[in-house]
Amino acid sequence: MNIAIVCYPTIGGSGIVATELAYGIAEFGHKVHIISYSPPFRYNKFNENIYFHNVSPPNYPLFEFPLYTLSLTGKIAEIVELENIEIIHCHYAIPHSFSGIVAKEIVSPYFDVKVVTTLHGTDVTLVGTQPNFRPIIHFALNKSDAITCVSEFLYHTTIREFAPIKPIEVISNFVDVDEYQRKANPELRRRFAKDNEKIIVHISNFRPVKRVSDVVLAFNNIRKEIPSKLILVGDGPEMPKVEYLVKKHNLVNDIFFLGEQSSIVEILSISDLFLLTSEIESFGLAALEALSCEVPVACYGVGGLGEIIINDFTGYTCEFGDIDALAFHSKKILSDEALYKKLSQNCRKFVLEKFDKRIIIPKYIELFYNLINKN
Ligand code: GMT
């Protein structure tokens, strides 16, 4: 098959899923054409079946705002024609699905191409419900040849918000379990913590929705009883607020700011607990990658997180905003050795059974084959 994947290149789950999917599909011998405004963050290994096509909006004095959606649409139509694309797979509805649908329309006299929309989260829960975007998403969903959601939660939310005429398939996110596995590294661990200290980690894009300040406050509570260090990975608009809190609570020597990192297995491999404090998370890919590296997760029980963080099995969920409960569960995990052993073993087993890319990627491939062979 010849498949175009349209995605965001920035650090964030939808771009990561799209890129890992590109590698997975390419391994089956299919040709994948990634279309975006720069090479995606995790597109860092060469594969002869993957091509990257850059979208660059024209710079003209009349256009005060870059015409990205139009440029993207034109680029998709061009690649469909040039590369004989059979499937346009759009990750995140705005503007990707919209552009995919219009590109399909442009080439329709000569090419029969199908559009698959994969919804990831805020394209439905936050951005999608804004009044000026709602009709666009509605249009894009109803015109897509297939729609997928990354979790049961997102499936139900999409039905409630948009009631698309097409059936929606849940194809959950996945992880490369061979890459995301714990590799003990005592020397690296010692660079961050003393032998008697635990390591807590948080990884995100530091957007307001992630509430990273809550991570700092929970850590401040935890460290009063459990000798520990916190590693913060990522960067984003909330960083100044987080830095302020760290200074205010005198935590400068206990928290490491690593910034954006493309390889996180090494960091997860020296971590004992992943703290996640998002106010909404349709799936929580970063948490899944932690589980795959045997790191239990403590988080708020919001969105689709309850589908992967199972209480007393892979970690603990608590009520949104209850920082004390988050700290309580974290202390429990970090102080009870038998519990810790049980949880960390369950984490890996759970991922191997349900979220291994070898289980999930064939579901996308089957969906593509069915669409191509429909007529
Ligand atoms: O929706 C977003 O905030 C953007 C998106 C992204 O590009 O990171 O994140 C969503 O998609 C991920 C991959 O499917 C999910 O793991 C995240 O839970 C989801 N984020 C939210 O729902 C906030």
Q: Is 24 in the pocket of ligand 1 (CB under 6 A)?
A: no
* Residue type at 34 in one-letter notation: I
How far is C-alpha 193 from the geometric centre of its chain's CA atoms?
28
Q: Classify domain 2-174+356-373 at the CATH superfamily level.
A: Glycogen Phosphorylase B; (3.40.50.2000)
Q: What is the best residue among 10, 89, 172, 282 to mutate for testing ligand 1's pocket, by most ligand atoms within 8 Å of CB?
A: 282
As a whole number of angstroms, the distance between CA 184 and CA 369 comes to: 41
User: What is the 42 CA–ligand 1 centroid distance (Å)?
Assistant: 15
Q: Which long-range contacts (CB under 8 A, 24 or more apart) does 361-364 make?
A: 361/21, 361/24, 361/25, 361/28, 361/174, 363/169, 363/171, 364/21, 364/25, 364/89, 364/148, 364/171
Question: What is the per-residue pLDDT for 10?
Answer: 84
* Residue type at 110 in one-letter notation: Y
Among residues 360, 342, 364, the alpha carbon closest in space to that of 351 is found at: 360
Same topology, domains 2-174+356-373 and 186-354? Answer is: yes
Q: Give the three-class secondary structure for 189.
A: helix
Residues 6+ apart with CB under 8 A from 344: 294, 295, 296
Q: Give the three-class secondary structure for 295.
A: coil
Q: What is the best residue among 7, 14, 260, 274 to mutate for testing ligand 1's pocket, by most ligand atoms within 8 Å of CB?
A: 14
Residues 6+ apart with CB under 8 A from 198: 226, 227, 228, 229, 272, 273, 334
| DSSP class per residue in 297-344 | EEEE--TTGGGT--BTTTEEEE-TT-HHHHHHHHHHHHH-HHHHHHHH
Residues 6+ apart with CB under 8 A from 60: none
pTM for this structure? 0.94
Question: What is the per-residue pLDDT for 125?
Answer: 87
Write down the H helix ranges in the chain: 13-27, 68-83, 98-107, 122-125, 134-143, 152-162, 186-192, 212-222, 239-248, 265-269, 285-292, 323-335, 337-354, 357-372
Question: What is the per-residue pLDDT for 375?
Answer: 64
Instruction: Sheet containing 146-149: give its strands across.
Output: 50-54, 31-36, 2-6, 87-91, 114-119, 146-149, 168-170
As a whole number of angstroms, the distance between CA 275 and CA 287 comes to: 9
Locate the domains of the chain by residue range: 2-174+356-373, 186-354
User: What is the 59 CA–ligand 1 centroid distance (Å)?
Assistant: 30
Over the chain (375 residues), the average pLDDT of each successive run of 10 is 96 91 97 97 93 94 91 98 98 96 97 97 86 93 97 97 94 97 96 97 96 98 97 96 97 96 93 97 97 98 97 97 98 97 98 98 98 86
- The ligand 1 atom at the shortest distance from the C-alpha of residue 14 is 7
Question: What is the per-residue pLDDT for 221?
Answer: 98
Q: What is the best residue among 5, 92, 122, 148 to mutate for testing ligand 1's pocket, by most ligand atoms within 8 Å of CB?
A: 122
What kind of architecture, by CATH, is found in domain 186-354?
Answer: 3-Layer(aba) Sandwich (3.40)
Among residues 21, 251, 25, the alpha carbon closest in space to that of 118 is found at: 21
In degrees and rounded to multiples of 5, residue 171 shows phi and psi of: -120, 110
User: What is the 162 CA–ligand 1 centroid distance (Å)?
Assistant: 18
- Assigned token pair, 65: 């705002």
How long a stretch of residues is the chain?
Answer: 375
Nearest CA residue ID for atom 9, ligand 1: 13
Q: Is 285 in the pocket of ligand 1 (CB under 6 A)?
A: yes
Residues 6+ apart with CB under 8 A from 372: 1, 86, 87, 114
Cβ atoms within 10 Å of 90's Cβ, excluding its own: 29
- Assigned token pair, 28: 């089956």
Contact 88, 104 (CB under 8 A): yes
Q: What is the pLDDT of residues 139-155, one digit of tens each?
A: 999 999 999 999 999 99
